[in-house]
Structure 1
Amino acid sequence: MPAQQILLLAGDFVEDYEVMVPFQALEMVGHDVHAVCPEKAAGDSCPTAVHDFEGDQTYTEKPGHNFELTHDFDAVDPTEYDALVVPGGRAPEYLRTYDEVLEIVRHFFEADKPVASLCHGAQILAAADVLEGRTCTAYPALQADVEGAGGTWEDGVVRDETLVTGQAWPDHPEWLAEFLDVLGTEIEHAKAAPADD
């Protein structure tokens, strides 16, 4: 199957692992990932936040890296993309206030294209009103948000047709594997040629 063009929605203080790991992993297997953020262009950066789980009642937050965007948000035409990735972190709580973001998200659901959402990314899906009748997950504190938007909550990584959701970055291995399966991505490992002695 040819490489697919994937849109990734980023924003200031997106969760560091949740934006960098999917971006790099999807590029690594040959997909073309366009990372965008409202009011920003290719070459601009989003600061990230590292959320960790250290035994407190909720996650801790520390400064992360700067994540460089690859494309202009204003140039996004969602019909040109095969799939969507919505990372978590602090960004989703304000990204959901952009009508353009919600319209982009709705396109992927209306066209039944693959969508991978992690952690607080569900805040955007709920605001876009695309969770009605869907089974999904998110960061556990967002169960009320998912159910309030008409979704059915499950723990762990959840796949509902073309929607793949996870609770946080520790879910990366299973979440990304499920998303690659939905995309139909086949990974071939080339055998290295024997070294000349």
Structure 2
Amino acid sequence: MTGTQILMIVGDFGEDYEIMVPFQALQAVGHEVHAVCPEKGADDSVKTAVHDFRGDQTYLETRGHDFALTHGFDEVTPSDYDALVVPGGRAPEYLRGYDEVLDAVRHFFEADKPVASICHGPQILAAAGVLDGYEITAYPAVRPEVEAAGCSWVDEVTTDGNLVTGQAWPDHPEWIAQFLDLLGTEIDHASEAATAD
């Protein structure tokens, strides 16, 4: 599958790497990614946060970038998209309070479309009531919440049906690779190298 249209739901103080890295990586292999946030438009941005792991019992948070949205939330129709990305950070704790966010998430599960979620992103999936019966992972502190939503827990990046989950941004290489597999993305390195000359 090439040229896939992917919806990414972001919000203020979402994790910087978990927004920026998949946003750019998915575009680099030919997918179109639309980043949206409730109550914000295409000319707006969200503030990101960088979560670092330095030996404390939880992560350290510092200010990240201003991430420009591509569309207003009310401008997009979930059924127009082939896949969904739900990053982590602090944004999911408030984004899960928007009915339109939960409805959008439910669409991708009801239609069995590929979904990638990482870190605290599964908080939104739990609130949408779509995790029952899945095997997933998330940021470890979210484990009680997602298990209460009916899923079983694993400690590694995992793909179960239409859902790919990871624990945090250090999982990016495997998490993004599994999502690309789920999307059916084919990367032709030989032809790219030939056209680069």
Structure-2-length-normalised TM-score: 0.97
- Match status 1:10 vs 2:17: no
Name the residue aligned to 2:181. Answer: 181
Percent sequence identity is 70
Name the residue aligned to 2:146. Answer: 146
Unaligned stretches of 5+ in structure 2? none
Name the residue aligned to 2:88. Answer: 88
Name the residue aligned to 2:107. Answer: 107
Name the residue aligned to 1:97. Answer: 97
From the superposition, tell whether residues 186 and 149 of structure 1 become closer, same or farther in structure 2 (CA, over 3 Å).
Answer: same
Structure-1-length-normalised TM-score: 0.97
Which string of whole-angstrom CA distances, capped at 9 and with x for unpartnered residues, describes residues 93-123 of structure 1?
0000000000000000000000000000010
Which string of whole-angstrom CA distances, capped at 9 and with x for unpartnered residues, describes residues 70-96 of structure 1?
011111211000000000000000000
Please give the root-mean-square deviation of Cα atoms over the aligned residues, in Å: 1.1
Unaligned stretches of 5+ in structure 1? none
Question: Which AA in structure 2 matches 1:122?
Answer: P
Name the residue aligned to 2:121. Answer: 121
How far apart are 1:182 and its partner, in Å? 0.2
Q: Secondary structure at the match of 1:191?
A: helix
Q: Secondary structure at the match of 2:34?
A: strand
Q: Is the 8 A contact 2:85 2:115 kept in 1?
A: yes
How far apart are 1:178 and its partner, in Å? 0.1
How far apart are 1:193 and its partner, in Å? 6.5
From the superposition, tell whether residues 43 and 161 of structure 1 become closer, same or farther in structure 2 (CA, over 3 Å).
Answer: same
Name the residue aligned to 1:66. Answer: 66
Name the residue aligned to 1:36. Answer: 36
Question: Which AA in structure 2 matches 1:172?
Answer: H
How do 1:166-177 and structure 2 match up within 5 A?
166-177=166-177
Query: For 1:144 and 1:192, how far apart are their aligned partners in 2?
Result: 50
Name the residue aligned to 1:137. Answer: 137
When the two structures are aligned, how many residues end up with a matched partner?
195
Superposition misfits of 4+ residues, deviation over 3 angstroms: 192-195
Q: Secondary structure at the match of 2:121?
A: helix
